[in-house]
Amino acid sequence: MDLTEEFKVLLLSRDMRVIGVYHAASGSTSGVVVDTKLILVSALKTNANSIIMAHNHPSGNLKPSPQDAEQTHKMKIACKALDIEMADHLIITNDGYYSFGDGLSHEKKNINGSIYFECQPPF
């Protein structure tokens, strides 16, 4: 998970079941270029009702970049035009994840051998 950025899209049915996973792009150690049109084509071909976008940050930084925010905004507008819900966009690291849907970082904590995610306020 820490070598290069990977961008995946979960394609979901009306009852939020995963009906497919689309590999949108592989990038470098510090970025990935995503084609919005290809993501929408995959959603339309599978008749997905909603999508969840996810990509990793090899740096381990959970803070969204300006490019991450721009891609999220762009995809929300495009999905809305096609009546597809963009349920969330996640940034994933080995130590937790950031959800654009709730605007919070969720940092992994190991408590007595069990893994929990602790919510952190927005940056």
Contacts of residue 13, defined as CB under 8 A and 6 or more positions apart, other chains included, come to: 19, 48, 49
**Helices of type H across the chain:** 36-45, 66-81
pLDDT tens digits along 37-89: 999 999 999 999 999 999 999 999 999 999 999 999 999 999 999 999 999 99
pLDDT tens digits along 97-120: 999 998 888 888 888 888 878 877
Q: Hey, which bits of the chain come out as E strands?
A: 6-12, 18-26, 50-56, 85-93, 96-99, 104-111, 114-120
Query: Parallel, antiparallel, or unpaired for β 85-93 and 114-120?
Result: unpaired
